[in-house]
Amino acid sequence: MDKNATPVIAGFIPLLDSAVLVAAAEKGFAGQEGIALKLVRETSWANIRDRIAVGHFDVAHMLAPMPIAASLNLTSLAVPMLAPMLLGLGGNAITVSTGLWADMVAAGADSGGDPASTGKALGTVIATRRTEGAPPLRFGVVHPFSGHAYELRYWIAAAGLDPDRDMEITVLAPQIMADALATGQLDGYCAGEPWNTAAVTAGTGRIATFKQAIWPDSPEKVLGVTRKWAEANPETLAALLRALSRAADWCAETGNGEELAALLSRSDLLACPADICLPALTGRIRLGRNTVKQIPDFLSFSGGARAAPMPSHGKWFYDQMVRWGQVERSAAAAAATARIFSPDLYLDALGLEKLSDDTPLHMFDEPHI
């Protein structure tokens, strides 16, 4: 590494969609832009949030709604933030215990993960449990302000259920979800890969549905940065964005899948077997022990314009915050969210033309489920 390179410290959580940061650091893309990128693995999203707020991290692998929550003063140690680049699209799934899945199958759940069918089946199971006096099901999400929380709630509500009344939702770090399911502390969870595949491989979980069926090609993780750091280090941020764009293109190359899985499996990164990492990188997902489904773009990476954040992305997350009572709707908050998800810094760094914010939000329609 060039001794004159500019140091940048990036926090990350051991998930497959940390791949762009990992590739930028390990494959030389950051170095080629004059950035000495140091990765620091963290154990929880709360730690990521707090450490970037106090300046331990310059940038971070971050849940897409977190910069909004921080900027709207909805979390502890809140600071104004930006999300200048999308690090990954898709990659989440909702996994249930094998026992719960058996009950859902008996209630008509689709084996291929259709969210309408599986949601309806879960509703039937919950209704039966209620008549029997059974305790509510407990589902895990990785953070209250996360795509996981909103996707789980969207799925549940679309089935005619109330996620705050008909189940218990708790917060756990993604890397312990499968263990919590195996020990019976959870009945299901929504998490990113590879922690759904881990439960399926262990024989303790079954993927009921997945993000690509709920909101196709939608943002999952972003590069999070405080507005203060971005304004103080514009050239460094621009160089980093160029490096990450090239790294994302490398991650997207089909021929690099096995190398990427092996890299991510390292003990200092995800610390999981490469064969657990590979399915989401190829789209060949094992929903259950005997059910494999090819899901195009289950998890996807991309440089270029496709990695640009859009105000419409932020709007969906903000709308979910309003829907679930996390924030009061206001014109000022909506405008702040649009600024957080502005593509301008990213497009300027890459020398790309400005985009119009007309990207459609592909979601299943609640009345149809």
Residues contacting 111, CB < 8 A, separation 6+: 105, 287, 288, 291
In a domain, 362, yes or no: yes
Indicate the pairing of strand 137-141 with strand 81-90.
Answer: unpaired
> Computed over its alpha carbons, how large is the radius of gyration of the chain?
20
Model confidence over 193-237: pLDDT tens digits?
999 999 999 999 999 999 999 989 899 999 999 999 999 999 999
In a domain, 122, yes or no: yes
Which residue range forms the structural domain that includes residue 273? 6-91+217-368
Do residues 176 and 127 both lie within one domain?
yes
Say whether pLDDT at 363 is over 60: no
CATH code: domain of residue 357 = 3.40.190.10
At 322 the three-state DSSP class reads: helix
Do residues 52 and 126 both lie within one domain?
no
* Domain C-terminal end among 186, 214, 242: 214
Task: From 301, 305, 263, select the one nearest 280 (Cα to Cα).
Answer: 301
Say whether pLDDT at 14 is over 90: yes
Do residues 225 and 357 both lie within one domain?
yes
Do residues 99 and 71 both lie within one domain?
no
Q: What percent of the chain has pLDDT over 70?
A: 96
Instruction: Summarize the confidence of residues 262-287 as an average pLDDT.
Output: 96
* Domain C-terminal end among 163, 197, 214: 214
Do residues 196 and 125 both lie within one domain?
yes
The one-letter amino acid code at 249 reads: D
Do residues 244 and 354 both lie within one domain?
yes
At 160 the three-state DSSP class reads: coil
Say whether pLDDT at 367 is over 50: no
In a domain, 170, yes or no: yes
Instruction: Summarize the confidence of residues 308-320 as an average pLDDT.
Output: 95
For residue 369, what pLDDT band results from cuts at 50, 70 and 90? very low
- Edge-to-edge strand ranges of the sheet holding 205-210: 167-171, 137-141, 188-192, 92-97, 205-210
Say whether pLDDT at 364 is over 50: no
Do residues 356 and 223 both lie within one domain?
yes
In a domain, 1, yes or no: no
Determine the pLDDT at residue 2: 74
In a domain, 57, yes or no: yes
Do residues 308 and 260 both lie within one domain?
yes
Instruction: Summarize the confidence of residues 243-269 as an average pLDDT.
Output: 97
Say whether pLDDT at 1 is over 70: no
Determine the pLDDT at residue 357: 57
Do residues 36 and 175 both lie within one domain?
no
Determine the pLDDT at residue 340: 98
Determine the pLDDT at residue 354: 80
Task: From 315, 301, 337, 353, select the one nearest 82 (Cα to Cα).
Answer: 337
Determine the pLDDT at residue 51: 97
Model confidence over 72-120: pLDDT tens digits?
999 888 899 999 999 999 999 999 999 999 999 999 999 999 999 999 9
- Reported as type and span, the H/E element at residue 39 is strand 35-41
Determine the pLDDT at residue 362: 44
Please give the Cα distance from 182 to 240 (Å, whole number). Answer: 40
At 206 the three-state DSSP class reads: strand
Number of domains in the chain: 2
Q: What is the mean pLDDT of the chain?
A: 94
Q: What percent of the chain has pLDDT over 90?
A: 92
Note the pTM of the prediction, 2 decimals.
0.93
Model confidence over 18-54: pLDDT tens digits?
999 999 999 999 999 999 999 999 999 999 999 999 9
